[in-house]
């Protein structure tokens, strides 16, 4: 008879997806990759996973959560968001529906620039309050860790303000935050016709200052036609590397200007979007060990038919993660299960790839694979319990929140059955 003393026991898990990660990010994803245990339990001690196995009856615990035959899997990790911003952009939504495209709206002063205006005017307190509410929603849909970018400040003070809000969220919100400096999101109006001056500001002032204040872990650039070219991207990311940031690249979203081919040069942790990427870019990513972060919410909201070359990614075994790209312009979606559905429906990912993409591979995309993303002994007990029998139901029940419990560091923090744990 097996007796385990622990703080919390989750028992009667119909289908437990452990998603083992020992051999690096998951490639050649299939049912095996999910590490399924039927009729399983998870025991938790000090917020971490103590033990996982089949059956559960003999285990003694201070608190018991009855999963009632539901699915349990790692808490979702959203590896790409622009969570912090002020103002909304529903007017552009209407404009796009009437036929205007994103880059034209951007050149006419809409797009990122309009959010910059509103975000600069907002106080830290205001930004914290709206962002915390957004995180509450993300959490209710199972997101337990969220990457968060700056990039709507575009001045040293405003970029710092955004990253300080990220840091406040990290300290005061349940969802864990992975902060990214994205000063190179757009050229601000005061630098019109002087992009060089703005790149200099990023390199000589923003990066050193943000590094000194330890406000970000990653440095990101929007490498795109009319935004930052390949050379500027490389320059900025190299400076970031010198200051201790890991590199990420927004690349090949609208035009391929060779951004993805930088992956190897800057040792990119992830390349994100990748709609019009080519073999050269993917080979560079493969060599660098970069994760492909796919963002299908933007396809839906920009009504774009072009999709990333997923088959090529599979063939070249580039690991795939998925993210919401939550932002006020091109993807106001924050629910990871919705993004999982979209990744299947729009990009042709399999349900297994979507699940791996929102858990362990997303953890790799923010360099947190040692702590989260899979359910293994010693990892954080970030667990989502979903009212389904079979994991394929997760992307299938489109936009229906079937989450029963969200558990963060061993604590029930959200879900339909918030506090109905029973004492042993």
Q: Which is nearer to Zn ion, 112 or 414 (CB)?
A: 112
Nearest residue to Zn ion, by Cβ distance, number only = 325
Per-residue binding letters, 299-328, with Zn ion (x by CB under 5 A): --------------------------x---
Q: Tokens 């091109």: give the residue.
A: 330
In the complex, what is the shortest distance from the CB of residue 284 to Zn ion, in angstroms, rounded to a whole number?
Answer: 20
Q: What is the largest CA-CA distance in the chain?
A: 74
Task: Kindly tell me the burial class for residue 130, based on how many C-beta atoms sit within 10 Å of its own C-beta (0-12, 13-18, 19 or more).
Answer: middle
Q: Which is nearer to Zn ion, 365 or 412 (CB)?
A: 365
Residues 182-221 that bind Zn ion (CB under 5 A): none
In the complex, what is the shortest distance from the CB of residue 134 to Zn ion, in angstroms, rounded to a whole number?
Answer: 15
Q: Is 252 in the site for Zn ion (CB under 5 A)?
A: no
Q: Which is nearer to Zn ion, 258 or 323 (CB)?
A: 323
Per-residue binding letters, 153-172, with Zn ion (x by CB under 5 A): --------------------
Q: Which is nearer to Zn ion, 224 or 325 (CB)?
A: 325
- Using CB under 5 A as the binding criterion, the count of chain residues that bind Zn ion stands at 1
Q: Which is nearer to Zn ion, 13 or 166 (CB)?
A: 166
- In the sheet with 143-149, reading across from the earlier edge strand, the strands are 76-78, 143-149, 176-184, 218-223, 246-251, 270-273, 291-294, 320-322
In the complex, what is the shortest distance from the CB of residue 151 to Zn ion, in angstroms, rounded to a whole number?
Answer: 8
In the complex, what is the shortest distance from the CB of residue 325 to Zn ion, in angstroms, rounded to a whole number?
Answer: 5
Phi, psi of 267 (to 5 degrees): 50, 50
In the complex, what is the shortest distance from the CB of residue 345 to Zn ion, in angstroms, rounded to a whole number?
Answer: 21
Question: Helix-strand-coil percent breakdown of the chain, rounded to 5?
Answer: 35, 25, 40
Q: Which is nearer to Zn ion, 76 or 152 (CB)?
A: 152
Instruction: Specify the 3-state DSSP secondary structure of 81.
Output: strand
Q: Which is nearer to Zn ion, 150 or 341 (CB)?
A: 150
Q: Which is nearer to Zn ion, 144 or 298 (CB)?
A: 298
List, in sequence order, the alpha helices (H) in 224-295. 230-242, 263-266, 279-288
Alpha-carbon distance of 16 to 61, in angstroms, equals: 19
* CB contact at 8 A, 2 and 54: no
In the complex, what is the shortest distance from the CB of residue 141 to Zn ion, in angstroms, rounded to a whole number?
Answer: 19
- Catalogue the long-range contacts made by 34-41 (C-beta closer than 8 Å, 24 or more residues apart): 34/352, 34/355, 34/356, 34/391, 35/374, 36/391, 37/13, 38/14, 39/12, 39/13, 39/14, 40/13, 40/15, 40/16, 40/72, 41/9, 41/10, 41/11, 41/12, 41/13
In the complex, what is the shortest distance from the CB of residue 294 to Zn ion, in angstroms, rounded to a whole number?
Answer: 12
User: Which of 421, 377, 324, 297 lies closest to 76 in space, CA to CA?
Assistant: 324
Q: Token pair for residue 230?
A: 């390949």
How close are the terminal C-alpha atoms of the chain, in Å? 18
Residues 324-353 that bind Zn ion (CB under 5 A): 325
* CB contact at 8 A, 373 and 363: yes
In the complex, what is the shortest distance from the CB of residue 51 to Zn ion, in angstroms, rounded to a whole number?
Answer: 39
Q: Which is nearer to Zn ion, 239 or 325 (CB)?
A: 325
In the complex, what is the shortest distance from the CB of residue 392 to Zn ion, in angstroms, rounded to a whole number?
Answer: 29
For Zn ion, the binding residues (CB under 5 A) are 325
């Amino acid at each position: 008879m097996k007796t385990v003393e622990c703080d919390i026991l989750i028992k009667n898990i119909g289908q437990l997806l452990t998603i083992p990660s020992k051999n690096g990010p998951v490639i050649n994803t299939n049912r095996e990759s999910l590490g399924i245990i039927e009729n399983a339990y998870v025991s938790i001690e000090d917020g971490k996973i103590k033990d996982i196995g089949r059956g559960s009856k003999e285990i003694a615990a201070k608190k018991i959560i009855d999963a009632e035959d539901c699915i349990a899997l790692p808490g979702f990790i959203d590896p790409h968001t622009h969570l912090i911003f002020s103002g909304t952009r529903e007017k552009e939504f209407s404009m796009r529906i009437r036929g205007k495209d994103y880059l034209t709206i951007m050149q006419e002063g809409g797009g990122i620039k309009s959010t910059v205006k509103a975000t600069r005017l907002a106080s830290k307190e205001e930004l914290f309050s709206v962002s915390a509410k957004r995180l509450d929603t993300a959490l209710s849909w199972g997101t337990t860790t969220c990457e968060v970018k700056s990039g709507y400040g575009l001045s040293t003070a405003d970029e710092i303000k955004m990253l300080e809000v990220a840091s406040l969220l990290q300290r005061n919100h349940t969802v864990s935050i992975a902060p990214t400096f994205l000063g190179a999101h757009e050229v601000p109006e005061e630098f019109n016709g002087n992009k060089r001056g703005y790149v200099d500001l990023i390199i000589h002032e923003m990066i050193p200052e943000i590094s000194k204040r330890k406000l970000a872990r990653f440095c990101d650039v929007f490498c795109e036609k009319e935004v930052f070219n390949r050379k500027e991207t490389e320059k900025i990311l190299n400076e970031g590397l010198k200051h201790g940031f890991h590199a990420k690249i927004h690349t090949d979203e609208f035009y391929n200007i060779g951004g993805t081919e930088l992956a190897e040069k800057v040792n990119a942790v992830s390349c994100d979007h990748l709609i019009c990427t080519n073999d050269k870019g993917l080979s560079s990513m493969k060599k660098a060990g970069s994760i492909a972060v796919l963002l299908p919410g933007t396809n839906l909201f920009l009504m774009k038919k072009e999709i990333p070359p997923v088959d090529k990614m599979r063939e070249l075994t580039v690991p795939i993660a998925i993210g919401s790209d939550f932002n006020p312009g091109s993807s106001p979606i924050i629910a990871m299960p919705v993004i999982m559905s979209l990744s299947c429906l729009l990009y042709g990912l399999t349900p297994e790839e979507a699940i791996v993409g929102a858990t362990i591979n997303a953890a790799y995309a923010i360099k947190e694979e040692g702590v989260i993303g899979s359910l293994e002994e010693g990892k954080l007990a970030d667990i989502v319990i979903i009212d389904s029998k079979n994991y394929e139901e997760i992307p299938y029940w489109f936009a229906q929140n079937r989450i029963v419990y969200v558990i963060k560091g061993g604590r029930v923090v959200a879900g339909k059955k918030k506090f109905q744990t029973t004492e042993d």
